[in-house]
Structure 1
Amino acid sequence: MITVDQLMTRHIVDIAAGTSAIEAARLMKSRKVGSVLVRRNNEVIGIVTEPDIVRKVVGAERIPYYIAVDEIMSSPVIGIDARRPVTEAADLMEQHGTRHLAVMKGGSIVGILSVRDLLHPVSMDEL
């Protein structure tokens, strides 16, 4: 059984609530990620993804310099335990209509699992 922690991205990228959508997009570009967690007072309050910026800002003809990430984020962040099977993660994504899950271990976020991660093969050595 392939588990979520075998495919997740361990490098978590976050941004402060109130930061502009343009800064979030720049951060995603520089870190080569498709999402950033939004934090307020060291607590994760949401997630902003590339489609959020495209659909809720650019597609709505809003000016990204003036749109805060907390206006376009998805909240709450849907999470899954790191030891759960990836099939359960895929079902959870479909159920909630999301492409990203926070991966949890001991009540803390330890990674992010994206739909794209589900496409990566796992070598037999990792099983």
Structure 2
Amino acid sequence: MERLKNLKVEDFETDPIVVSPTAPISEVIGALKQSGAYEVFIQDGKKVGALTMREILKASDISNMRTSTLMFYVSKLSPETTVGKAAKLMNDYRVRALPIVENGKIRGAVTTRSLCRALLSAKALRDVRVSKVMAKNPITIDKRDPVSKARRLMIKEGIDHLPVLDSRELCGILLSSHIVFSIERGWRREPSSASPQATYTSRFQG
């Protein structure tokens, strides 16, 4: 595990999604939906901004908003930054990805997804039990609660996932992306025949 922490982030680099500060929020949502990502990056002079699903949740009206309205600045990684430092910064900023910058320009990103893939091959994890790393007493929501309550909880607690319960039994999980994409559909007035449960909740099979 110690060896993994000392590896360089360039070994786990992925292609970033970079948008203009003037890009409409609706355009950002489309890019996130297409890529399956949770954040985009913005080159703002020497600084780098980020816009996440969670920040978009805070928007009261996305129809006329620009990226610069909701973005926040994040730490920049160099290709030589260690995985351990990158993981700590992600935790500090509560983000799933950070930009890798070279010569003042965004050249890539390191994501929790790419780091998790590396962890899967780490022998040190083979003997680690889930109970040692899981979040205890997670915040949950009942499937009969309004989505507005889930949105408030995600914003207040800084989370992207909510386990959904039915009579205290786990029946699915609600993601910030489910809510954001539903808001976008409503804004575009696209007809949808999906039920609220199907629209907002990823069900567990089995």
Normalised by the length of structure 1, the TM-score is 0.73
Query: 1:54-103 deviations in whole A, cap 9, x for unaligned?
Result: 2x22xxxx12112211111112x311121222111111222334332111
Q: Partners of 1:33 and 1:91 in 2: how far apart?
A: 20
The answer as to whether partners of 1:82 and 1:104 remain within 8 angstroms in 2 is yes
Please say if 1:53 is aligned against 2:56: yes
The answer as to whether partners of 1:28 and 1:34 remain within 8 angstroms in 2 is yes
Question: Which of 22, 29, 38 lines up with 2:26 in the alignment?
Answer: 22
Aligned to 1:92: 89
Please say if 1:31 is aligned against 2:35: yes
Q: What SS is found at the alignment partner of 2:19?
A: strand
Q: How does 1:116-127 map to 2 (within 5 A)?
A: 116-121=113-118
Q: Partners of 1:17 and 1:38 in 2: how far apart?
A: 6
Please say if 1:8 is aligned against 2:8: no
Pair 65,12 (structure 1): closer, same or farther in 2 beyond 3 Å:
same
Pair 108,20 (structure 1): closer, same or farther in 2 beyond 3 Å:
closer
The answer as to whether partners of 2:43 and 2:105 remain within 8 angstroms in 1 is no
- Residue 46 of structure 1 and its aligned partner are, at CA, apart by 1.5
**What is the RMSD of the two structures over their aligned residues, measured on CA atoms?**
2.5
Q: What SS is found at the alignment partner of 1:27?
A: helix
Q: Partners of 1:39 and 1:81 in 2: how far apart?
A: 15
Please say if 1:114 is aligned against 2:108: no
Query: 1:5-43 deviations in whole A, cap 9, x for unaligned?
Result: 11121x222222222212110011123322212245x76
Normalised by the length of structure 2, the TM-score is 0.48
Percent identity, aligned pairs only, is 21
Q: Partners of 2:19 and 2:103 in 1: how far apart?
A: 23
Amino acid at match of 1:67: M
Please say if 1:103 is aligned against 2:100: yes
Q: Partners of 1:27 and 1:115 in 2: how far apart?
A: 19
Structure 2 unaligned regions, length at least 5: 123-206
The answer as to whether partners of 1:37 and 1:44 remain within 8 angstroms in 2 is no
Q: Partners of 1:73 and 1:16 in 2: how far apart?
A: 11
Amino acid at match of 1:49: T
The answer as to whether partners of 1:12 and 1:111 remain within 8 angstroms in 2 is yes
Please say if 1:66 is aligned against 2:64: yes
